[in-house]
Amino acid sequence: MAPQKIFIAWSGDRSQFVAKALKFWLPCFSPDLIPSMSVDISPGRRWSDELVKMWDSTSAGILCLTEDNLDSLWLNFEAGVLSRSVAGSVIPYVVGIPVSSIRGPISLFHAVPATQSGTLELLNGLMESREPNAQMFPAFWPPLSRVLQADSSKIAEAAVDEIENLYKALQSLTLRDVCVSSERAEPGDVLDVTYEIETAAHDIAVWLGANMWGENEIRIFNIEEDEIVSIRRGSHRYKRRLTVPSTTPSGRYQLNAEVFYGEKSKPDNSYPLQKQWPTQHTIDVQ
């Protein structure tokens, strides 16, 4: 997939929150998706000249439409400029209103609603022939959905911050080490598993998954012990428990650990930000 420079146009407060969210949300799925928006222009620069440079180098455009900006002269102007300059598509992304509400020149473009299915259509179109990771979209949709449905700027801003931190976590999170309190155990024992996580993200909720993989492909999970933690910037240690079930056959087991973002204990709706699979630890069950 060739790099795609995507210009995100907005007008009004709600539209701007959606644009900011998309700016960090889209590149989570591929580093080749490179969004920009007018607020990226550095202070002191001649904004009109900088906008022209952005438009001229754009591969695709997204227009964040809301009920408040349907008649925005600026958005209609940007739609016209983008339609002449971009190599790919200009996509109206319609938030909170029916697509049929679009009027004027923008109605000539194929629009998508800012729903789960419409957003997936938007993402698939931008990624061309590539499909997003099957786990990523259901895991990463909820914070974007919170921006789209927010009824206050405070809620929208918090969700945008979460998406920005999620993007930072994808870029930086490293599972430095995984330690277990004992490498010898008996059925029924409770082990402490400690994760050393380093990241540039701050205050984002993840959950710590762990299992034991034994001979004859015996896998031991205790999903009720999966732990949600709020990771902090820098390198810190986080802990969860792992109980050896009373029915566990004796033998040697490999400890596996993962850091997930998404719905707790549901890997199909979560995405592993980092894993040690396997770790350097084995557990001998007597």
Report how far Cα 169 is from the mean position of its chain's Cα atoms. Answer: 9
**pLDDT digit string (tens) for 267-285?**
889 999 999 999 999 999 9
Mean pLDDT, residues 143-159 taken together: 96
Most confident of 45-59, 87-101, 239-253: 239-253
pLDDT tens digits, one per residue of 236-253: 999 999 999 999 999 999
Average pLDDT over residues 86-97: 88
> In the structure, what pLDDT confidence band is assigned to residue 48 with cuts at 50, 70 and 90?
low
69, 79 contact by CB (below 8 A): no
C-alpha distances out from residue 173 to 192, 198, 259, Å = 22, 6, 9
Q: 178-196: per-residue pLDDT in tens?
A: 999 999 999 999 999 999 9
pLDDT reported for residue 47? 53
| Structural domain spans, the chain | 4-171, 174-285
- What CATH code is assigned to 4-171? 3.40.50
Q: What is the pLDDT of residues 15-31, one digit of tens each?
A: 999 999 999 999 999 99
Asked whether residue 55 carries a pLDDT value surpassing 60, the answer given is yes
Can you give the pLDDT at residue 39? 63
Q: Is the pLDDT of residue 67 over 80?
A: yes
Q: What is the mean pLDDT of residues 121-139?
A: 87
The confidence band for 234, taking pLDDT boundaries of 50, 70 and 90, is very high
Banded model confidence at residue 40, pLDDT cuts 50, 70, 90: low
Average pLDDT for 74-83: 83
Q: What's the confidence (pLDDT) of residue 99?
A: 95
Question: Top-level CATH class of 174-285?
Answer: mainly beta
CB atoms within 10 A of CB 229: 17
Percent of the chain at pLDDT exceeding 70: 93
Q: What per-residue confidence (pLDDT) applies to 25?
A: 98
